[in-house]
Each structure stands twice: as C-alpha cells, then as structure tokens.
Amino acid sequence: MIIPKFLAEGQTIGVTAPSFGVVEPVDIKRFDHGKEVLLGKGHPVKETPNVHTADEEGRSSPLMQRVMELGSLLEDPSVGAVVSASGGDYQCEMLMGMDWDFIERHPKWMQGYSDNTVLLFKITVEHDIATIYGSNFGDFGMEPWHRSVSENLEFLEGKRAEQHSFPFYQDGFADRVTGLEPYNEDKKVVWRCSDGDVRFSGRLIGGCMDVLEWYHRKGNIDMEKFCSKYSDEGIVWYMETYDMDEGRVRKMFEGMSKDGWFEGVSGFVFGRPLFYQGDDYQKVIEDALKDYDVPKVFDADVGHKGPRMTFINGAF
C-alpha cells in the first residue's frame, strides 16, 4: 500500500470540485473562513476554477474540466493534499476521463466523503494508494472547530496515529444562517454491536454504500486483486448510506457476497444512515450478512451524520 507523504509545514492544501460546486452564499462564507483558518495554521489553500460553479443538474463543470483540475493539483509540487469541495451525484462521469497512470505517478492524500467514494475507493482498491474518507472542505469553515476537524488536520500532517469516538452527533441537516455554524450535537453517540464489546483488525476499505452499490451493479471495479493481496491480514469494511432502502441493501449484500467482495473480511463497521427506508437498519444488515461470523458494529462516527472520524482507506 502506497502511503502518500504527509502535509509539511507551510504546504498548500488543494481544493477542487469533482462533483458539485460550492455556490450558496452561506456555504461560500464557510468555505472562505476555512481558507482563513487553515492559512493561520500554516497551510495556504489553492482552489481550482470549478470550486464555485455548478450547472442546473448539479455538476461543478464538464467531466474533463473536473479531471484536469484535479490533475493540476496532484502535479503541483506546492500542494500536499487535495480535499473535495463538496459531494454530489456525478463524480462517476470522471472515470471515463481519468489517467490512472498519472494518478499512480502523483500519489497525494485525497479526501472527501459521500459521492467522493467514486475516486477514493477506486484509487485505493485498484491502484493501492491510501485515501481518506472524511470531511469535505466545508467542515474546516466551522467556528469553533470540532475535535474531529482538528484531528483530521493532524492526520493529514502525520501528527496523529489514533482516534476516539465523540460524545454526541448531529442527527440530520441543520439550516445555516452565518455559514460558520458548528455541529448541532443533539444525539448521544452509541456504537452498537450485537456481540457486545469486540476487537478486530485488518486493512480498512469502504465508503458510501450508495456508490459501492453502483460499483457492484456496474461491475467496473476489480475487488479480486485487493482481496487477494490483503485477505491474509484481514479486511475491515466500513460503509454508510445517504439514501438506500431495505430492498437495495439486501440485494447489494447478496450480490457482493456472491461475487467475493468480502473475502478475508475480519469485521464490518457501519455509520449512521441518513435517509433509509425499511425495517430496522441494524437487523436488516445483520440478516443480510449472517453468513459472516465476524463483528458487525453500527452507528459509528463515519458518513453523513457528523462529526466524522478520519477513515483511511488502505490503513491497517
């Protein structure tokens, strides 16, 4: 596994919009504040032209512009890490224009969540480069910073090697007025496992379930090589969902199991679902994965209901 170099003191953080752009006034204010705060911590921010643009369908820019602007940050020697401006729905289009040899020649930390699973998951699974499933850039603009944001930067800088859960989380979206609002921590965090307290380890991989389902359904990801390489160490799968229903969840796990996606699995970690329709989420997934006698942990700090831990694809 290729581990990109950590952010050096004074090194720039690049921001691009591989899905949707940051266009609402309160979100732009949050974005700009994040730039100011990071500069004060020694990291200038370089944004690509598509960061504050969007078409009517939800694309920041045409697919090749998104590809080229990402590439411009990866080949810029002053940029030490690339954080996505936002999530969205159309990052999958970029796959048609990606130069994967170029990606392998310019390994850098890439970070985001939700639709950003498209690139992050493929880069780690097929190109053996570690990536970060964590906050999009907007979280750097909250005031004050949540512990999750501070620790995220410490991971990028190579100053942190462990993390712990948070006491509370925000259950859903909250309207912003100033743009700088921190998390509305209105629910207590409780990680759940039917087996009680468990310990397990392995090579971490995963992302947004909506995207993982798309990859499996399209058959355009090669899981066999990754599983073959790391199954002896154990593989820890984490997943979280934006908008899935029970039928899709069951069908996805049935197909993934049949196609060997979970070879060598040593445990599963599931984030808090945002929009889910169906019977009890935990029971549905436990039933769908009943053939795997490994721990299954639920309501973890990963995904759309922040705060988010820094999940490093490819880490052991």
Residue type, 236: V
Question: pLDDT (tens digit, 9 = 90+) per residue, 207-231?
Answer: 999 999 999 999 999 999 999 999 9
Per-residue confidence (pLDDT) for residue 174, from 0 to 100: 86
Distance CA 204, CA 35 (A): 30
Residue type, 69: E
**CB < 8 Å & 24+ apart, contacts of 97-102:** 97/63, 97/64, 97/67, 98/67, 99/67, 99/71, 100/126, 100/127, 102/71, 102/74, 102/75
Query: If pLDDT is split at 50, 70 and 90, which confidence band does 309 have?
Result: very high
Distance CA 36, CA 225 (A): 42
Question: pLDDT (tens digit, 9 = 90+) per residue, 63-120?
Answer: 999 999 999 999 999 999 999 999 999 999 999 999 999 999 999 999 999 999 999 9
Per-residue confidence (pLDDT) for residue 109, from 0 to 100: 98
Q: Has residue 172 got a pLDDT over 90?
A: no
Per-residue confidence (pLDDT) for residue 141, from 0 to 100: 98
Per-residue confidence (pLDDT) for residue 38, from 0 to 100: 98
Structural domains of the chain, with CATH: 12-156 (3.40.50.10740), 190-311 (3.50.30.60)
**168-169 and 187-188 beta bridge pairing:** antiparallel
Distance CA 137, CA 86 (A): 7
Query: If pLDDT is split at 50, 70 and 90, which confidence band does 292 have?
Result: very high
Q: Has residue 162 got a pLDDT over 90?
A: yes
Question: pLDDT (tens digit, 9 = 90+) per residue, 270-289?
Answer: 999 999 999 999 999 999 99
Query: If pLDDT is split at 50, 70 and 90, which confidence band does 8 have?
Result: very high
Q: Has residue 250 got a pLDDT over 90?
A: yes
